[in-house]
């Protein structure tokens, strides 16, 4: 009988060892699954993803025989005058260091030090029943620095955009201008200085 | 006389398109014109870094008055303005690209 009990214990031990192995495997699988769940996903722009972009400036093409042969920059047209009594799409705008969560411009001025951490433009519009899209263009010494699209939601009275310099850098010093476009027409602009 | 007139008329009809084609004119591509592009290759936040140049292809010709000003297949270039790898605890990758310019292959 003793002979029988020993194999049972041995079997028991073996079973126990097997359970531990199984538990370890489950643990590894669990941790792997947990890791996969916790691991963030990479941002991917797929090759077949179509993107809509907009041209930044007017361009004149000389066409000969139906084929464009030369392209030259054109001077942007003056903003279309508003019919009497009809306000322009953008009633006013300020350039400020940033826009507070409350929507208030912070540090609104026309000269900023080179160390300014960010620049924002904030503009007032008459509320409308539909969303409106504005394009905001920043230039420094007449060179385009960046452009962005601002969507002012229906019934909202204002919109704005904030830009920051590249990491570890400052804004380019010079004569800056922020310009707001709607439907390709410049509706407001404001000049300011950085670092001079 | 009638024959001569009809001959002159025929010559004019034949030459008219050629004369029109020879004339040059200027077409304006306005600001904020839409250009549809797609990346030339997959761009991943773990494969690029800030400052890298990335390439796009125009997928639809841009036409004004029936003249193709930007051809399908034209190359547009952009710059990665922000690229951050995904990391643990659900931190997803970040990818920001600024599209800078498009080449006009047809323009000299």
Higher pLDDT, B66 or B25: B66
Residue B91's domain spans which residues?
Answer: 29-102
In a domain, B98, yes or no: yes
pLDDT at A81: 42
Q: Tell me the mean pLDDT in the region A150-155.
A: 84
Q: What DSSP string describes B4-68? A: HHHHHHHHHHHHHHHHHHHSEEEEEE-TT-EEEEEESS-EETTT--TT-EEEEEE-S-EEETTEE
CATH code for position A134:
2.60.40.1930
In a domain, A171, yes or no: yes
Chain A residue with the nearest C-alpha to that of B91: A40
Q: Mean pLDDT highest for which of A68-72, A112-116, A182-186, B102-106?
A: A112-116
**A2 in contact with B, Cβ within 8 Å:** no
Radius of gyration in angstroms for the set of CA atoms belonging to chain B, rounded to a whole number? 24
- Residue A153: pLDDT band (50, 70, 90) is confident
* Statement: residue A27 has pLDDT above 60: yes
Sheet holding A174-182, edge to edge: A111-112, A185-194, A174-182, A132-140, A143-152
Share of chain B above pLDDT 90, in %: 0
Domain count, chain A: 1
> Do the chains contact at A45 and B43, CB–CB below 8 Å?
yes
In a domain, A59, yes or no: no
Burial class (CB in 10 A: 0-12, 13-18, 19+), B43: buried
Q: Backbone dihedral region of A107: left (phi > 0), alpha (psi from -120 to 50 degrees) or beta?
A: left
Residue A127's domain spans which residues?
Answer: 88-194
In a domain, B107, yes or no: no
Q: Tell me the mean pLDDT in the region A65-83.
A: 55
In a domain, B50, yes or no: yes
- Residue A196: pLDDT band (50, 70, 90) is low
pLDDT at A3: 40
- Residue B91: pLDDT band (50, 70, 90) is confident
List the single range of A62-71, A147-156, A163-172, A182-191 with lowest mean pLDDT: A62-71
> In the beta sheet, which residues pair with residue B61?
none
In a domain, A157, yes or no: yes
Question: From the CA of A148, how many Å to the nearest CA of chain B?
Answer: 10
Q: pLDDT digits over A11-25, tens only?
A: 434 444 445 566 677
In a domain, B8, yes or no: no
Residue A115: φ, ψ to 5°: -85, 5
ipTM, two decimals, is 0.74
Q: Tell me the mean pLDDT in the region A50-57.
A: 79
**A169 in contact with B, Cβ within 8 Å:** no
Q: Which residue out of B30, B33, B47 would a mutagenesis test of the A interface target, given it has the greatest number of A Cβ atoms within 10 Å?
A: B30
In a domain, B38, yes or no: yes
Question: From the CA of A5, how many Å to the nearest CA of chain B?
Answer: 51
Q: Which two tokens stand for residue A29?
A: 């699988």
Q: Are B59 and B37 in contact (CB under 8 A)?
A: yes
In a domain, B75, yes or no: yes
Q: pLDDT digits over A100-139, tens only?
A: 877 788 888 889 998 888 899 988 887 778 888 888 899 9
Separation of alpha carbons B31 and B96, rounded Å: 23
> Do the chains contact at B38 and A40, CB–CB below 8 Å?
no
pLDDT at A176: 92
* Statement: residue B105 has pLDDT above 60: no
- Residue B82: pLDDT band (50, 70, 90) is confident
- What is the four-CA torsion angle of B64, A54, A151, A75, rounded to 10 degrees? -80
pLDDT at B16: 60
> Do the chains contact at A63 and B67, CB–CB below 8 Å?
yes
* Statement: residue B73 has pLDDT above 50: yes
Higher pLDDT, B9 or A47: A47
* Statement: residue B44 has pLDDT above 70: yes
In a domain, B74, yes or no: yes
Separation of alpha carbons A28 and A181, rounded Å: 57
Q: Tell me the mean pLDDT in the region A44-65.
A: 78
Pairing of strands A119-125, A132-140: unpaired
Separation of alpha carbons A132 and A187, rounded Å: 13
In a domain, B1, yes or no: no
- Residue A79: pLDDT band (50, 70, 90) is very low
* Nearest CB to B26; choose among A54, A62, A67: A62
Domain count, chain B: 1
pLDDT at B17: 54
* Nearest CB to A61; choose among B29, B90, B93: B29
* Statement: residue A61 has pLDDT above 60: yes
């Amino acid at each position: 009988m003793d002979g029988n009990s020993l194999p049972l214990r041995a079997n028991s031990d073996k079973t126990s060892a097997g359970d531990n192995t199984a538990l370890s495997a489950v643990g590894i699988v669990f941790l792997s699954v947990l890791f996969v769940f916790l691991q963030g996903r990479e941002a991917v722009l797929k090759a077949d993803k179509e993107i809509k972009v907009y041209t930044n400036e007017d361009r004149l093409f000389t066409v000969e025989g139906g084929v464009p042969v030369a392209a030259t920059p054109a001077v942007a047209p003056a903003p279309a005058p508003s019919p009497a009594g009809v306000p322009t799409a953008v009633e006013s705008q300020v350039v400020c260091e940033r826009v507070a969560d409350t929507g208030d411009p912070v540090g609104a001025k026309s000269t900023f030090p080179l160390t300014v951490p960010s620049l924002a433009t904030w503009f007032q519009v008459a509320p409308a029943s539909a969303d409106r899209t504005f394009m905001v263009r920043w230039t420094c010494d007449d060179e385009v620095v960046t452009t962005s699209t601002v969507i002012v939601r229906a019934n909202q009275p204002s919109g704005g955009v904030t830009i920051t310099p590249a990491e570890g850098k400052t804004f380019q010093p010079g004569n800056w201008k922020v310009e707001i476009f709607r439907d390709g027409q410049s509706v407001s602009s404001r000049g300011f200085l950085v670092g001079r | 006389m009638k024959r001569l007139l009809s001959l002159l008329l025929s010559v004019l009809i034949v030459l008219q398109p050629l004369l029109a084609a020879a004339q040059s004119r200027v077409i304006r591509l306005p600001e904020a014109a839409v250009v549809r592009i797609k990346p030339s290759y997959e761009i991943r936040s773990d494969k690029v870094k800030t400052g890298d140049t990335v390439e796009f292809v125009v997928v639809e010709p841009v036409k004004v008055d029936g003249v193709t000003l930007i051809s399908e297949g034209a190359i547009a270039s952009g710059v990665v303005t922000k690229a951050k790898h995904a990391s643990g605890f659900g931190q997803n990758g970040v990818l920001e690209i600024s599209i800078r310019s498009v080449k006009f292959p047809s323009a000299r």
